[in-house]
Amino acid sequence: MKKYMLDLIIKENKQLSDQYSLLILTSPEKLPEILPGQFAEVRVDGSATTFLRRPISIHYVDYELNELWLLIQVVGDGTKKMAEIEEGKSLNMLIPLGNSFSTPSNIDSKVLLVGGGCGVAPLLYLGAHLKKIGFEVNFLLGARSKADLLQLCEYERLGNVFTTTEDGSYGEHGFVTQHSVLNSSNFDYIYTCGPTPMMKAVANYALKTSANCEVSLENTMACGIGACLCCVTDTIEGHVCVCTEGPVFNITKLKWEI
Amino acid sequence: MGNLNINIGKLQLKNPVMTASGTFGYGTEYSDFMDISRIGGIFVKGTTIRERQGNPYPRMAETPSGMLNAVGLQNKGVDYFINHIYPEIKHIDTNIIVNVSGSTIEDYIETAEKLNYLENIPAIELNISCPNVKEGGMAFGTTCLSAAQVVKEVRRVYKNELIVKLSPNVTDISEIALAVEAEGADSVSLINTLLGMAINAEKRKPILSTITGGLSGPAVKPIALRMVWQVAQAVKIPVIGLGGIMNAADAIEFMLAGATAIQIGTANFIDPTVSIKVIEGINDYLDRHGFQSVRDIVGALEV
Ligand SMILES: Cc1cc2nc3c(=O)[nH]c(=O)nc-3n(C[C@H](O)[C@H](O)[C@H](O)COP(=O)(O)OP(=O)(O)OC[C@H]3O[C@@H](n4cnc5c(N)ncnc54)[C@H](O)[C@@H]3O)c2cc1C
Ligand SMILES: Cc1cc2nc3c(=O)[nH]c(=O)nc-3n(C[C@H](O)[C@H](O)[C@H](O)COP(=O)(O)O)c2cc1C
Ligand code: FES
């Protein structure tokens, strides 16, 4: 897929909480084709300590409205500057980067999308894509507390939503991998993104239940386009770049201890 | 419109702007963003005699105005390059130069010998910042003796332009430059990365899997500029300057300090089209100052 360097304009910056912002971007030109699971390398201006671009997942694309959504979780100065950007300003980004989630060949496959924290970001677009093709979509979303479960209505539009919170303030109490739906249902395809311990626990469940499982990794990156080899993960084929061969990997390819 | 053509020994460049090894892949990674044949030259990834997996992740740490890397020369080896990569890139209408790395002198010799026969590889760049495993891991480029030795041996087998890339992790870089010039280097390029370190205080752990790594980016520019100036004063062969170049002004500074051409490394990560902007910026500078040719600014610093 051809990659572009684009200046996208902030149409809306919805501050969802003090930690999260939803950026809705647009462009005078038609947005390029972007697949679920792909990401952008965003340049951060006006941050003295942010030198490199920041990889950010594509949260959602609305081709009719020509909108691209990014979900930003503030963890340092780069994400802080992004989260605070004013409407009308633009963000420079390299897009679309990386591979994408695969689509099950059998339309009757039961699919589960498991997200934790900001890892939910790529799952919204994936869910929309799977629903459009005709899959029944199930989301299992986990967070620390109710305030961290963002925009549930967006997921509810697309399918069934199961939730857990670590403090029990919403949904079932505990981690995503403790949710009762995992005992009551069987899934053929599981997609997951979030903190590594969570993804490993999900991968473990997938292996036990013989489900196909894809994880989206968040290794630190410099170039984002396969030129620097800084972002590698260890696979059965040796070190490969997460920015080009990933960020989505089938767990059977990774050398994870699960 | 000034004339941007310039030569490094027998190597003819359409302009003095090239991209640095390890930061530009094999060139094609960038071809969606620009016409890469407009660049004066592309220094491809560090290539070794056998495949190398490189260091474990994490290999990168961002630092104020720069980054540390510990990639560890991950590459598929020179034979894979010759059979699979070279056929894909040999038609690109610019100079493709292979950066050669090794752990022993024999590694360098064998790799250079194989590259001798590739019609569209007009030069190699010897990366002598690599640890010499037979000498307890001390980098070849950190003593005059070992730097001279590796250049002497490679010179014997390699017939095209031999560029030697110098390590800045030395007390006197001019001495090393003189030593490799004496053994037949056609030109020198500098600087490679500066040895540095980053720590995660919260975790009380080093950030890089290798603890230390190579610093690059604008943080190193003043040091690189000083070293280019010193080496250009010392040697007669052409000098290629690099280290922290982010824009045309930086590039021009290196040329005024005595560099015949320059390379852009880390800046490619921030703006993949930066090299084209630097070419245009140099052209604009020549016009504004009434220079006919970019050759007129090489070493034109007034002190
Ligand atoms: C493919 C991919 C997709 C991503 N998608 C999103 C997204 O949709 N939304 C979002 O908010 N973030 C996403 N991230 C993570 C985001 O890139 C980092 O949080 C961001 O780079 C941090 O920048 P900063 O300047 O705010 O923090 P920094 O000051 O750089 O770092 C703050 C702290 O976070 C840690 N950190 C930084 N980057 C990472 C990382 N990649 N992995 C683990 N720890 C890290 C640092 O070690 C440090 O402790 C994604 C990362 C990748 C690789
Ligand atoms: C990720 C990365 C990988 C590199 N790999 C190599 C390499 O394989 N061989 C080499 O001689 N230099 C390598 N370098 C050094 C650069 O070519 C260059 O000398 C250095 O980064 C300074 O220039 P800059 O500040 O413009 O990046 C690498 C640098 C980076 C950042
Ligand atoms: S970030 Fe440079 S190769 Fe992946």
Q: Which two tokens stand for residue B71?
A: 């990639």
Q: What is the pLDDT of residue A47?
A: 93
Q: Which residues in chain A show pLDDT less than 50?
A: none
Statement: the pTM of the whole predicted model exceeds 0.90: yes
Compute the mean pLDDT over every residue in chain B, rounded to the nearest whole number.
96
The amino acid at residue A7 is: D
Residue nearest to atom 52 of ligand 1 (CA): A218
- Give dist(CA B172, CA B239) in Å, integer: 16
d(CA A10, CA A69): 10
The mean pLDDT of B285-297, rounded to a whole number, is: 97
Task: Inspect the interface and report whether the beta carbons of B57 and A219 lie closer than 8 Å.
Answer: yes
Fold of A4-97: Elongation Factor Tu (Ef-tu); domain 3 (2.40.30)
Q: Which amino acid is at A10?
A: I
Contact B268 A227 (CB under 8 A): yes
What ipTM was assigned to the predicted interfaces of this complex? 0.95
Nearest to A255 by CA among B70, B56, B77: B56
DSSP annotation of A40 reads: E
Instruction: Identify the burial level of B184 via C-beta atoms within 10 angstroms of its C-beta, where 0-12 means exposed, 13-18 middle and 19 or more buried.
Output: middle
* Residue B29 contacts A where some CB pair is shorter than 8 Å: yes
- Looking at this protein, which amino acid is placed at residue B271? D
What distance in Å separates the CA atoms of residue A230 and residue B68, rounded to the nearest whole number?
A: 10
B18 with B262: CB under 8 angstroms? yes
Please tell me the predicted confidence (pLDDT) of residue B137. Answer: 75
The number of folded domains in chain B is 1
Which of B124, B130, B151, B173 is catalytic? The answer is B130
What CATH class is the domain A111-216?
alpha beta
Residue among A85, A87, A75 at smallest CA distance from A44: A85
CA nearest to B147, candidates B129, B160, B125, B163: B129
The verdict on whether B144 is a catalytic residue reads no
List of residues 6+ apart from A122 with CB closer than 8 A? A36, A37, A39, A57, A58, A59, A101, A193, A216
3-class DSSP assignment, residue B80: helix
Residue B303 lies in a domain: no
What's the pLDDT at B260?
98
For the CA of B46, the closest atom of ligand 2 is: 8
Which pLDDT belongs to residue B138?
81
Q: Using N-to-C axis directions, what is the helix angle for B144-157 and B173-182, rounded to 10°?
A: 30
**pLDDT band at residue B131, thresholds of 50, 70 and 90?**
confident
Ligand nearest to the CA of A55: 1
**Which tens digits make up the pLDDT trace of B22-36?**
999 999 999 999 999
Mean pLDDT of B71-95: 97
Interface of A with B (CB under 8 A): 2-5, 43, 48-53, 94, 219-234, 238-239
The two structure tokens encoding residue A82: 């992004």
CB distance A227 to ligand 3 below 6 Å: yes
Host domain of residue B39: 6-297
The residue ranges of DSSP E strands in A50-89, in sequence order, are 54-57, 60-62, 67-73
What amino acid is encoded at B17 in this protein? Answer: V
Q: How close does chain A come to B44, measured CA to CA in Å? A: 10
* CATH classification of the domain holding B165: 3.20.20.70
Q: Judge if the beta carbon of residue A72 lies within 6 A of ligand 1.
A: yes
Contact A51 B69 (CB under 8 A): no
- Residue boundaries of the structural domains of chain A: 4-97, 111-216
> How sure is the predictor about B2, in pLDDT bands with cuts at 50, 70 and 90?
confident
Query: What pLDDT does residue A129 have?
Result: 97
pLDDT for position B49: 97
